Structure 1
Amino acid sequence: MAGKNTATASAKTDRYDVAILGSGMAGGMLGAVLARNGVKVLILDAGTHPRFAVGESTIPYTSGMARLIAKRYDVPELKALSNYRGTIDEISPNCGQKQNFGFVYHREGRPQDPQEINQLVVPIELRTETHLFRQDVDAHLFHVALSYGAEARLATRVTDIDVDPEQGALLRTDQGEEFRAEYVVDGSGFRSPLAEKFSLRETPTRARTHSRCLFTHMIGVRPFDDSPTAQPHDQPSPWHHGTLHHVFDGGWLWVIPFDNHDAARNPLCSVGLTLDPRKYPKDGTPPEREFAEFLKRFPQIAWQFTEAKAVRPWVSTGRLQYSSHTVVGDRYCLTSHAAGFIDALYSRGLANTLELVNALGWRLIAASRDGDWSKERFAFVEALQQGLFDFHDDLVYSSFVGFGHYELWNAVNRTWMLGTMSGNMMVEDAYYRYSESGDPDVFLEAERSGYPGSPLPISEPFVRMGTLTRELCVAVEEGTLDPGEAAARIHDYIRKDVDFIAHADRFGLPENRCFQMTKERMEAAEEWSRTQAPPEIGKRMLNASRGMELAKESESVSGSAEKY
């Protein structure tokens, strides 16, 4: 889709097609996409690079979307983000590998039950996901944008924005500069200048999820696989080879190592404790002491941190959830974390960011060429971002309710598994068909589905599964339904009503706590796609398999199945 090559920096001007607020992953990637396709771009950021950031764990949807954006917008540098080996070799050796999503359930005051674990393994035959060392990755994407001609002002805070629906936007900075742009994309995060200017925040937020967080980077975090607690565990992949989640009534704790592969150069580990403030109120305790006090309550988690030390100050947040009643206006758009946020659970933040880059990119490119910056052109972006927010809120809310009862958590967890696998199928199908045809209408099909923000918008049974799970968890929280009954109804729905994925009968059995897509299961899924799947699902599943096979031929996939 690339237009004229703008690899050399454009002449300085005070008027731009697009001004992007924020130079993180969203701003850097969108800036690269736009500049590569001839759009005059200005990136403004109050900070500088490199800088600390969380949101470090990719999922297959994230990686597949990176490869898709790289091809669709002809920015080959983005393809490296589509797999662990490319990220390590071409962006930063400070990143880690991710071969699984691991969940260990804990009950305060009781030994950990080795049967209360869950894991979803990323098939090593297809790809290895990545633990992104964000200060390196964000700086890399920012510099890619500059290499294609985007201009930037770092250490420059936007203090005011005036928007004229007919003339565009005027941005003023704390350094007394003024910039004019046809359109403003705000990817700056919670303290969004546009959200403040136009009073876009919902107060209170509509989110059902309630959580707060304390986080840092540490050294000396020991692999949980080596702990006495983990010795009876029967999960298919070592915990240390992926993102480990310790879950308990009222919250969860992430452990994201960057040193979990043979070529590791980075001794750091990302650690974050996420708590429901209604069960764990924030009382002014310094976050480092609060973390230490939490570990005393869960000594089997504490084993990992016996020798650990924080290498940077802890960050402690208030309630994480915020939302916006409007994210698209005349001549502006809020993206990703400027629009709203739920929780880091399931690593959806980066995936949502890339989905927004893909949806915004072609619209902004077209507007820069034909001059149509109307709100109507960007209407789908509004629906998409609100849909992404609501879908993730339903899932995380249900998970927090489930954290109080393992049998319910065990059921909710597999609705997430089904969603993340199905979403990956959708993006791989789109990539394959676009690679074969070059027809951008491939991407518009999902926009016309009627369920923007859903990982599988073409499936009514999938949408109903999410609604059912949320409604059951609301009833559990209100005390009108037993958690075991809610869990049984979710499992029953998966076994009897899920028709959008192979092996649904296995996902619907509560005893199948861990799932690994082996070669034999992949072959069985391919046969199911040909003979039993609904036609719309079957053909997409086959396309996705072909697309991933093509990716294997051009990418080096690393990983190890040995115990750390």
Structure 2
Amino acid sequence: MRCEVAVIGGGFGGTLVAMCLAAQGRDVIVLERERHPRFAIGESSTPLANLVLEDIIRTYSLEALLPLCRYGTWKHSYPKVRCGPKRGFSFFAHEPGRPFEAFSDHRTELLVAANPSQDLADTQWLRSDVDALFSETAKAQGVRVLEGVSVLDAERGRRWKLALLQEAEDASSTPASGRSQSFSADFVIDASGGASPLHTAVGLTDAGESLATRSRAIFSHFEGVETWHTVCSAAGGNLDDHPFPADDAALHHMTREGWIWMLRFDHGVTSVGAVLTDDGKSGSIEEEWKALFERYPSVAAQMSAALPTRPLVRTSRLQRRLRPAAGPDWALLPGAAYFIDPLLSPGNAHTMHGVERLSRIFESWPDRGAMAVGLDEYDSRLQAEVDFMDPLIHGCYLAIDSLPLLAAYTMYYFAGAIHSEERRRDGTAEGADGFLHSHDEAFRGRVMEAYHDLADITEGPVDAGVVEAFASRVAADIEPWNTTGLCDPERQNMYPYK
């Protein structure tokens, strides 16, 4: 078999880029190791992710996917594709051994709205359903999608030669009973999101140690998770001040060990995961999970009747990075090139940026010279964005013991994200725009300086005066890009949509 472009990985990123290239007339095949529907995380969308997806849809006439850009249209058009509303980001700070404590000034809370209503909300993606929908849509667009296919080897010559193993259709069969075959392609895109099968063929370098962020995770899906609304209200929280329901969000429980995410879907299932900053524990996953929640009574109250729908997963270090991310006849989508952390939900949005950029580069096909220039720029921009994202996320971990300090530092993320969204909406976004406005040297420089200063600050005691001075500095730093009232002390960490 042969094709012009082979895409390794059949998640939403791989099938979306395949659809974009097929719309340009390319002969594309997607190779997916598992079979849909299959479990995956990376479930939380953002306004920026949806805006980029909408631009991609309109550019390449993929209107079947347009309803996915808003919660209301999604529920109307695809009621069987399960999701949940995401009104924004909510953060709550917890102390070990103590119930959550609410204050009138919301010093242990931060809520930042991302949209004005539930109908216009972003979404939590049940990836088993969403990835399956993208795959079926790709097939309808003329993309060949092969499931249950592993790439055993990739040999680079005048054309790519991929050695494949097609698993047997009978689930009871052993892997050895699958069928081997070879496949040739002019260009390969790795959208696998893990260990790249192109590693040896293109000389990829493992650059994970260049990342300052260090974390691991334990996670699963659960039924019966109590709402934070109920627990927070019982703790004396003033929910009338909240700009949106805290459960309809990327809910972050901030702890001394890291943080716990909760993402709710409409069918009664909640994605729950703990992101931890230590190097790992001995003992079983279940024992570690139980001990973690026992240290935080209010979060434990949410989970008191929860039952997992699938076994817990415990990872090693999450951070990974491969360099370079592209060459004359190959490219890695962002999720294959790197992963930092789920904090602040950057993954899906960055994947959308990668799909959009690669699709634009392919508009020069078959001019390989022009494509090579574009691919070199693609790599340079992606590396610069990773170098921006890592301090942005690692700084949040440096500030994790003080929610007021953390809230101040996150304003760099929200300023960059919201400004990027505004440029998309008003039509001023340019092809050279970096993820989260990271291409702007003035903005980027201020974030980097603040990160280094934050590292110094958190080496010693962090009192109210230190936090106030840092928050004032952040407010001054983001002022040129702050159109929504971020860093306003009168808001008391409650930011409605503007």
Q: TM-score of the superposition, structure 2-length normalised? A: 0.90
Which amino acid in 2 is paired with 1:144?
T
Structure 1: which 5+ runs fail to align? 1-13, 260-265, 434-441, 447-451, 523-564
1:468 aligns with 2:449: yes
CA distance in 2, matches of 1:32, 1:458: 28
Match of 2:364 in 1: 366
**1:209 to 1:376, Cα distance in 2 relative to 1, 3 A:** same
Match of 2:404 in 1: 407
Q: Residues 270-292 of structure 1, C-alpha deviation per residue, up to 9 Å, x if partnerless? A: 11110002xxx412322222111
Match of 2:192 in 1: 188
CA distance in 1, matches of 2:461, 2:445: 19
CA distance in 2, matches of 1:423, 1:83: 18
**1:470 to 1:156, Cα distance in 2 relative to 1, 3 A:** same
**Offset, 1:482:** 4.5
Match of 2:170 in 1: none
Which range is displaced more, 488-497 or 43-52?
488-497
Match of 2:254 in 1: 247
- Alignment match of 2:138 (pick from 127, 133, 145): 145
**Offset, 1:461:** 4.0
**Offset, 1:133:** 1.0
| Maintained 8 Å contact 1:408/1:484 | no
Which range is displaced more, 76-85 or 179-188?
76-85
Matches within 5 A, 1:413-562: 413-430=410-427, 443-446=430-433, 452-453=434-435, 455-457=436-438, 459-477=440-458, 479=459, 482=462, 487-497=467-477, 498-504=479-485, 507-509=487-489, 512-517=492-497, 522=498
CA distance in 1, matches of 2:286, 2:66: 38
**1:500 to 1:370, Cα distance in 2 relative to 1, 3 A:** same
Secondary structure at the counterpart of residue 176 of structure 1 = strand
Match of 2:69 in 1: 82
Match of 2:235 in 1: 229
Matches within 5 A, 1:97-116: 97-114=85-102, 115=106, 116=108
Match of 1:535 in 2: none
Matches within 5 A, 1:37-436: 37-91=24-78, 92-114=80-102, 115=106, 116-124=108-116, 127-164=120-157, 167-174=158-165, 175-227=179-231, 228-229=234-235, 231-233=237-239, 234-259=241-266, 266-277=267-278, 281-367=279-365, 369-372=366-369, 375-430=372-427
CA distance in 1, matches of 2:380, 2:265: 36
1:28 aligns with 2:15: yes
**Offset, 1:230:** 5.8
**Offset, 1:209:** 0.5
CA distance in 1, matches of 2:12, 2:469: 40
**Offset, 1:492:** 1.9
Which range is displaced more, 458-467 or 245-254?
458-467
Q: Residues 280-310 of structure 1, C-alpha deviation per residue, up to 9 Å, x if partnerless? A: x412322222111111100111110010000
Secondary structure at the counterpart of residue 300 of structure 1 = helix
Which range is displaced more, 242-251 or 62-71?
242-251
CA distance in 1, matches of 2:52, 2:406: 29
| Maintained 8 Å contact 2:411/2:474 | no
**Offset, 1:255:** 0.6
Q: Residues 519-560 of structure 1, C-alpha deviation per residue, up to 9 Å, x if partnerless? A: xxx4xxxxxxxxxxxxxxxxxxxxxxxxxxxxxxxxxxxxxx
**1:136 to 1:109, Cα distance in 2 relative to 1, 3 A:** same
Which amino acid in 1 is paired with 2:235?
T
| Maintained 8 Å contact 1:27/1:142 | no
**Offset, 1:41:** 0.1
| Maintained 8 Å contact 2:252/2:261 | yes
**Offset, 1:113:** 2.9
**Offset, 1:124:** 2.0
**1:373 to 1:151, Cα distance in 2 relative to 1, 3 A:** farther
CA distance in 2, matches of 1:23, 1:189: 10
**Offset, 1:372:** 4.5
Which amino acid in 1 is paired with 2:275?
T
**1:508 to 1:197, Cα distance in 2 relative to 1, 3 A:** farther
Q: Cα RMSD between the aligned structures? A: 2.2
CA distance in 1, matches of 2:77, 2:121: 15
Q: Where is the strand percentage greater, Structure 1 or Structure 2? A: 2
Which amino acid in 2 is paired with 1:96?
G
**1:511 to 1:150, Cα distance in 2 relative to 1, 3 A:** closer
Which amino acid in 2 is paired with 1:160?
D
| Maintained 8 Å contact 1:461/1:499 | no
CA distance in 2, matches of 1:73, 1:110: 53
| Aligned sequence identity (%) | 25
Structure 2: which 5+ runs fail to align? 166-178
Q: Residues 74-112 of structure 1, C-alpha deviation per residue, up to 9 Å, x if partnerless? A: 211221221112222334442111112110011113342
Which amino acid in 1 is paired with 2:405?
L
CA distance in 2, matches of 1:196, 1:269: 39
Q: Residues 201-227 of structure 1, C-alpha deviation per residue, up to 9 Å, x if partnerless? A: 435521110100011000000111011
Secondary structure at the counterpart of residue 307 of structure 1 = coil
Match of 2:171 in 1: none
Which amino acid in 1 is paired with 2:214?
H
**Offset, 1:381:** 1.3
| Maintained 8 Å contact 1:426/1:456 | no
**Offset, 1:392:** 2.0
